[in-house]
Amino acid sequence: MSSSSLPILPIECIGRIIEYQTDHKTLYSCLLLNRQCCRITAPILWSDPNFKNGKFFGILILRLNDFEKSFIPNIERLIPPDNELLFDYLTFVTKISEDLNDSINKWLELESEDNFYYIMMFLRTCNNLKKLEFKGNGRELALDLRKLFFNTLNQNNTLTPLSLINLPLGNGEEIGITRLLKKATLNDLCLSNNQFGGQTGKRFAKYLENILLYFIKYFK
């Protein structure tokens, strides 16, 4: 049988095949096959972005608002010449892994709080974000930035697992943390090496104590 006589698979079958692909290089190739494969592949590729690939950041930077852009030096050199996007890619994102911070540092060629605004951009724009893993650089954020972060984080109602690692929080954000602990949507919260200050630590410990006492009373 010649290759020209081989049956052509329906696009539904091709879509199911693409859905089982996990290799990013393969998915990138699928993007370029035709329009239908592009529509199928883009949500899969962007559901769990590979931030080690710098191509993602050219798209991400277009979704920063003016306030967020103002904190990134020489941002003009980072904006891609083609500003028209085929999709609203960030609506496809369901997971942000902890390699985001290191990848942004390498891409921006700096290490500072500036990349933190990307996290807030994700929280602001990713309507389907289910899982967030953020690994900080070990430096305490300015109080106004911490307040802005927790305010943005507490407005998100789609996250279920949340991990904040190596992100010193210090004092001054007791209310934001308490609101976060009370979020009904969260079923898994990981706080590691956050270096709470005295006031924040006491508030956090008191809240955990109340939860423990509730469970002791309930299951007694």
Domains detected in the chain: 1-47 (no CATH), 48-219 (3.80.10)
C-alpha closest to that of 166 among 142, 134, 188, 144: 134
Q: What is the pLDDT of residue 171?
A: 66
- Tell me the pLDDT of the chain (220 aa) as tens digits: 444 554 677 888 888 888 888 888 888 888 888 888 899 999 998 898 877 776 777 778 888 888 877 777 777 777 777 777 788 888 899 988 877 777 777 776 655 555 677 777 888 888 888 988 888 777 777 777 777 788 888 888 888 888 888 877 766 666 677 777 777 677 887 878 777 766 767 777 776 777 666 666 666 6
Give how far Cα 175 sits from Cα of 123, 171, 182, Å.
Answer: 19, 11, 11
- For residue 73, the 8-state DSSP code is T
d(CA 160, CA 58) in angstroms, rounded, equals 28
Q: What is the pLDDT of residue 70?
A: 78
Give how far Cα 43 sits from Cα of 18, 89, 90, 128, 150, Å.
Answer: 11, 7, 9, 11, 28
Q: What is the pLDDT of residue 184?
A: 67
Q: What is the pLDDT of residue 64?
A: 81
* Burial of 148 from C-beta contacts in 10 A (0-12 / 13-18 / 19+): middle
d(CA 142, CA 132) in angstroms, rounded, equals 21
Q: What's the token pair of residue 150?
A: 């927790």
- Give the strands of the sheet with 188-192, arranged side by side: 95-96, 131-135, 161-165, 188-192
d(CA 156, CA 119) in angstroms, rounded, equals 12
Q: What is the pLDDT of residue 2?
A: 45
| Long-range contacts from 208-217, C-beta under 8 angstroms, 24+ separation | none
Task: Assess contact for 170 and 195: CB atoms under 8 A.
Answer: yes
Give how far Cα 217 sits from Cα of 212, 214, 220, Å.
Answer: 9, 5, 5
pTM of the predicted protein model: 0.73
Q: What is the pLDDT of residue 3?
A: 46
Q: What is the pLDDT of residue 143?
A: 75
C-alpha closest to that of 86 among 68, 109, 70, 62: 62
